[in-house]
Amino acid sequence: MRALRPWLWLLPAGCIVVPLFFLPTAMMVRNSVYRDDPVRFIVPDFTFVNYFTVLSDPYYLRVFGNSLWLATLVALIALVMAYPFAHLITRVSDRTRLMLLWVLCLPLYVSIIMRVFGWIIIIGDLGLLNQLLMKIGIVAKPVRILFEFEGMVVGMLHRYFPLMVLPLLASMQKIDPVLLRSASNLGAGRLRTWYSIILPLTIPGAVAGTQLVFAGVLSDYVIPMLMGSTRFPVTAPTIFLEAATNASWAKAGAMGIVLLGIVLAINVVAGVWIGRAAPWTRRT
Amino acid sequence: MTGADQPAELVLRDVRKAFDGYIAVDRCSLSLAKGEVVAILGPSGCGKSTLLNLIAGFEEPDFGDVALRGEIINKVPPNRRNVAMVFQNYALFPHMTVAENIAYGLKARRVSKAELQTRVAGAVALLKLTGFEDRFPAQLSGGQRQRVAVARAIVVDPDVLLLDEAFSALDRNLRDQMQLELSLLLRRLSVTTVIVTHDQQEAFTLADRIAIMKEGRIVQVGPPKEVYRNPADSYVLRFLGRANSLPGVVVQHEGRRCVQVGEGLVVAHDLPAEGEVSVNVRAEDVVISLVPTAAHRHSPARVVLVTSLGAQQRVVLRLDDLQVVAEIPTASIADWDSLHRNAGVYVDLRPGSFIVDQRSSA
């Protein structure tokens, strides 16, 4: 009894995680090895045919490829945007820092629907951006951004940028300012200080942020549905389509497991890579 | 070396620096000859770190000049000054190996690869870090980290080396050993050095001259022995060594101006002072005898406690209602048993060793 006591603290969280996450995941794993049947819905045959289809059919491969490309692009843009932003936050006064952090986290507080409406006003066919471009005379007719790949990228960035900045900021704030003084004292200018001290010391934060953004983008359903295009199908909406419209729960399950596998693999690779690129983090 | 006979390497001229109206460094002047080691000694908050930051270029003086080899460098950014600093907690780059840390300043100076390797190897050997080149700072002991910090600073062949409380993170034995080693190294390399410390022993071990700072000002500069023997004022006297500060009154005694401490001790004092005063005297300048001398009118002091410091014995005495601490060489008294608790002894102050301050009669 005494030995079990520490585990009691897990009970509240377990009450949520077990029935709402582990159980559905287990059911999905089970579904993925069943067979879809036009008449009887899913039939409990043990088969890997769904995985075979999902991993060989050009359509599904393209869907996974699209998702990976989108996630890579969004993570890369977010990373490039996050560095100066995080750097700024570490340098301003406490008051400004609070304000910047609040602005950063604002998208997390606002409903996704509200945000999409906001983007319609800005990047819609008749939005502010297009009106401006046409007024200046750069384009003759509106550039289509929303409901295209580009619009989806914008929406994803807006949604996942905080997840990139926060871990990066945490690792940047951990850098002892005296290290920067020390670099300067030894003759390093700003540029050298940045790439020889700040950049390597923030690798763990940057990787953590990239992992979060990657996982988020790969499994995002709402943004592709509200801001993307069906000409560029990505994984989560496709899974929903298979399950809800095509009633192919087994195939949808297999896709879900493959996606889960991709995210897990990325995390493992990233962990190994941190150990290689930042060896000081593993040996202490 | 007092700096007068050689051209000055580093000069601080009337330097002043204030932060939000608080004056951290107030009109400090100091001049170092090439190869000279000067320690700036003072309690925390006296402005000594700010002074160091002004030399390193992390701060710019509001007033006055910092000159290196005759050139005013007030506005030269830190990375353009050939001044290397050993930071308090060493500030080693945690993501670089020992060799990479040491090479950092050379890389920033764009030294050729071959020369860089030779110089790093030289610094590694000089600071006995051979075999540790590929370790990360987290894998080193405190003493090794300090060696890396020193190696990293001297490998760039700086015009001035700065040490900011560089020994405070080491335990006592290691500190003594490293101070001695560094002292020899600085002599060997003949590098102009400014040491900032609150540790008297560190200053005395390493420095040719020491500068005592108080509230942003340098109150006395000189070779350690001289500053110790002839403190400019009671502040310096109290700061160096263990001192007593005893209340007294100025009296006329046998036709001389004297100071009476407590009821029975009267010491001659010819300098001007009136009424209530403080008598500042080091523990080692308190003399104990078993028989009264001319200084004593009556009432011997009582021994409260005798503690052995090894070569010295610390004797805590009660003189009337005052507590007096004396430190006397163990060998100077044959019969320590006579100095038992509550033993009556006569206390005197070594002539000329004490400084009398006027006490405001508020």
Which residue type is seen at B159? D
pLDDT for res B184: 93
Calculate the alpha carbon distances from B289 to A30, B60, B315, B334 in Å: 98, 56, 12, 12
Q: Over 60: is that where the pLDDT of A284 sits? A: no
Cβ pair B43, B212 in contact under 8 A: no
From chain A residues 140-179, the ones with a CB under 8 A of any chain B CB are 176, 178-179
pLDDT for res B335: 76
pLDDT for res B337: 79
Q: ipTM of this predicted complex?
A: 0.85
Mean predicted confidence (pLDDT) in A149-177: 94
Judged by CB atoms closer than 8 Å, whether chains meet at B93 and A284 is answered as no
Q: Over 90: is that where the pLDDT of A39 sits? A: no
Mean predicted confidence (pLDDT) in A35-61: 91
What proportion of chain A, given as a percentage, has pLDDT over 90? 76
Q: Within 13 A of B232's CA, how many CA atoms are on the CB side?
A: 12
Question: Strand, helix or coil at B219?
Answer: strand
pLDDT for res B309: 86
Residue A116 to residue A97: CA distance in whole angstroms:
27
The more confident residue out of B272 and A247 is: A247
Cβ pair B206, B184 in contact under 8 A: no
Q: Cβ neighbours of residue B25 under 8 Å, at least 6 residues apart? A: B15, B16, B17, B47, B50, B51, B54, B61, B216
Judged by CB atoms closer than 8 Å, whether chains meet at A178 and B91 is answered as yes
Judged by CB atoms closer than 8 Å, whether chains meet at B108 and A279 is answered as no
For residue B136, give the nearest of A183, A201, A280 by CB distance: A280
pLDDT for res A1: 66
- Tell me the pLDDT band of A30, cut-offs 50, 70 and 90: very high
Cβ pair A235, A259 in contact under 8 A: yes
Residue pLDDT, tens place only, A118-149: 998 999 888 899 999 999 988 888 888 889 99
Judged by CB atoms closer than 8 Å, whether chains meet at B91 and A280 is answered as no
DSSP B135-195: --GGGS-HHHHHHHHHHHHHTT--SEEEEESTTTTS-HHHHHHHHHHHHHHHHHHT-EEEE
Mean predicted confidence (pLDDT) in A153-181: 95
Q: Which residues pair with B324 in a beta bridge?
A: B317
DSSP state of B95: T
| Domains defined for chain B, CATH in brackets | 8-238 (3.40.50.300), 242-358 (2.40.50.100)
| Domains defined for chain A, CATH in brackets | 41-118+160-281 (1.10.3720.10)
Q: Which residues of A touch B79 (CB under 8 A)?
A: 184-189
Side by side, the strands of the sheet bearing B286-289 are B286-289, B344-349, B301-308, B312-319, B322-329
Chain B residue nearest residue A174, CA to CA: B94
pLDDT for res A120: 87
Question: Residue ranges of the alpha helices (H) in chain A?
Answer: 5-8, 11-17, 23-32, 49-56, 58-91, 94-109, 112-123, 128-136, 149-173, 177-185, 190-193, 199-201, 203-218, 222-227, 235-240, 249-277
pLDDT for res B338: 79
Residue pLDDT, tens place only, B53-72: 999 999 999 999 999 999 99
Closest Cα of chain B to A178: distance in Å? 6
pLDDT for res A56: 95
Instruction: Give pLDDT < 50 ranges for chain B.
Output: 1-4, 362
Is A188 in CB contact (< 8 Å) with chain B?
yes
For residue B79, give the nearest of A187, A197, A283 by CB distance: A187
pLDDT for res B298: 63
Q: Over 60: is that where the pLDDT of A183 sits? A: yes
Residue B189 to residue B287: CA distance in whole angstroms:
43
pLDDT for res A31: 92
pLDDT for res A17: 93
